[in-house]
Amino acid sequence: MIQSEIRFEHPSVVDAKSLFRLAACNDNLDLYPEYFYLVWARDFRKTSLVAKSGDRLLGYILAYIRPDDNRTLFLWQIAVDPSVRSSGLGFSLVKKLIDSVGEDVSAFEATIDVCNDAAYNTLTSLAKQYETNVSQKDLFLESDFISSHHKETLIRLERKKELVNEGVEQE
């Protein structure tokens, strides 16, 4: 699939079923109830993106502005269709979303299982591209969960002051 054939847009409620299906075919993601994706597509659509070719959903990124820190965008979940993995689509989704939020957002956070190489590599590539400061810490331990769950490591990318002042070019 050629990246130029892909269009990026904010999700709508109509996309919720496809969001759920795509999450279900990604073993390394937490799968939430369908209702979650419906609400997300309605209430957090402006801070999320989907990638489509024709009517087919190829990937998505779900994100939100943290309520207690409106300069931080939390990247909740990124999924890419297995047929286009290793194509750079996940990176493109994150980059397009970051570019679209503008200079008011100066930090980006995500929690990951450090064994998830794709997620970790995407975040470290972003850190290089945007010349950010990177910090990492354990946010939630296995013991914080009722059921068996890996620890969640928080990765925080912060734009350096000079980049924040320059802003981000809008596409």
Rounded mean pLDDT of 36-57?
Answer: 96
Q: Provide the pLDDT confidence category of residue 167 given band limits of 50, 70 and 90.
A: very low
Rounded mean pLDDT of 97-122?
Answer: 86
Among left, alpha and beta (phi > 0; psi -120 to 50; other), residue 86 is: left
Domain ranges of the chain: 3-166
pTM of the full predicted structure? 0.84
- Is 47 within 8 Å of 73 (Cβ atoms)? yes
For domain 3-166, the question of CATH label 3.40.630.30 is answered with yes
- The per-residue pLDDT for range 146-166, each reduced to its tens digit, is 987 888 999 999 987 644 444
Measure the CA–CA gap between 167 and 162, rounded to whole angstroms: 9
